[in-house]
Structure 1
Amino acid sequence: MQATAYTYDPETRSGSVLLDDGTPASFDAAAFDAGGLRLLRPGQRVRIEVRDTEGAADARQITLVTLQTF
């Protein structure tokens, strides 16, 4: 799935993205580290992988964030 980087905190390695429909979704350090990135700037196009979580307030959990390549 593709998204646009919205926020990123280099100290915690967590942040958020905006899905193409405008829905915000947050990611944690584990998802950032899984993508092998060192830095992320707002506005960059990214590829994310999500896992559906049953019974959670946010039904989708981002498990990977990496740069979108063409």
Structure 2
Amino acid sequence: MQGTVATFDQTTRSGKLLTDEGMPLEFPASSLAEHIRHLRVGQRVFVETDGTTVTSIKIWN
């Protein structure tokens, strides 16, 4: 699925996003793809979940 970054804490590398379906999800640092160093609010991302837990985030090009 796809979504938009709502918040991102550079220190903890965690944050919140809003899916295109309107579902708010929190994401842990462990869900970020290896190459991601920073996310900005409003940035588009690809999101994988196992239901309600974010398992992977990749940058939208």
What is the TM-score normalised by the length of structure 2?
A: 0.90
Aligned to 1:67: 59
Deviations 1:35-54 (A, max 9, x none): 120000000000011012xx
**What 5-or-longer segments of structure 1 have no aligned partner?**
53-59
Aligned to 2:42: 43
Aligned to 2:28: 28
Structure 1 segments, 4+ long, off by >3 Å, are none
Structure exhibiting the larger radius of gyration computed from Cα positions: 1
Identity of aligned residues (%): 40
Shift of residue 21, structure 1, vs aligned partner: 2.5
Q: Superposition RMSD on alpha carbons, in Å? A: 0.9
**What 5-or-longer segments of structure 2 have no aligned partner?**
none
